[in-house]
Amino acid sequence: MAAVVSSFNDTENQLIENNLRRCQIMSKAVARLYFAFPARDTWSYKNLGAITVVYDNAGTYSFKLIDIQRNGELLWEYPISKQLKYKEECDFFHSFYTENFAGGLSFADENEAKTFLQCVVQCMNQVPRNTKTKSIISGPTIIPSVQNNKGK
């Protein structure tokens, strides 16, 4: 079922593989991650990187976004479950919905997006129905901005 697209250069591939060495990479693509939170009608840019679908040694599938511009760190992770609502909005943009937030992936390449979608659907069909959807790195968080209006 592996659907790994190789549009990454050797350095980027090494960053991805080093970070995910305990996982089987099922699919990977360059994408921007967006969240619609708390309002689900406005997308906010979150990160850019290599979005992957991985299968780990615990027997679970998940999305992992890896920073390929700097150090290969894990930027975001979310488990794939039967309850996840994943949708192709157009050739380059996919959305997914959970109880708490909506997310979106804007792909750099439409062929990668299509391959990624096929992989996600296959993985969702293989996930047991009772799989929990708790994320190691949660959905979006709100960081209040502090503004000092004194003297204005």
Residue 147 belongs to some domain of the structure: no
How many domains does the chain divide into? 1
Residue 12 belongs to some domain of the structure: yes
Residue 116 belongs to some domain of the structure: yes
Q: What is the CATH number of the domain that holds 76?
A: 2.30.29.30
Antiparallel, parallel or unpaired: β 102-107 and 61-66? unpaired
CA gap 152, 146 in Å, rounded: 15
Residue 36 belongs to some domain of the structure: yes
Residue 9 belongs to some domain of the structure: yes
pTM: 0.81
Neighbour count for residue 17 (Cβ, 10 Å) = 15
Residue 124 has pLDDT above 90, yes or no: yes
- Residue-wise pLDDT for 50-69, tens only, equals 999 999 999 999 999 999 99
Q: Which domain holds residue 87?
A: 3-126
Residue 94 belongs to some domain of the structure: yes
